[in-house]
Amino acid sequence: MYYKSNNITHKSCYLKKAKYAIGSLMLLAVDSGKQPLSAVQIAQLGRIPKKYLEVILPELRNSGFLLSKKA
């Protein structure tokens, strides 16, 4: 059995995740050449929930979009 609301919920989650991922990359691009940004700084500057960043940033790193190092 299929429910339209579940489908919308899944799409909404993917759209929100994509929005936050693109926002994170844009913040990093604007600040390129300056000091690296921490996840906390990205969350604050981009008004992105830290919970999402804890999932998104490793995915971006593993996909080759980001380089990271431990502080």
pLDDT under 70: residue ranges of the chain: 1-10, 33, 71
Residue ranges covered by each domain of the chain = 36-66
* pLDDT score of 30: 87
* pLDDT score of 33: 67
64 dihedral zone (left: phi>0; alpha: psi -120 to 50; beta): left
Q: Could you give the CA distance from residue 65 to residue 60 in angstroms, rounded to a whole number?
A: 5
* pLDDT score of 70: 79
* pLDDT score of 6: 55
* pLDDT score of 22: 93
* pLDDT score of 2: 44
* pLDDT score of 3: 47
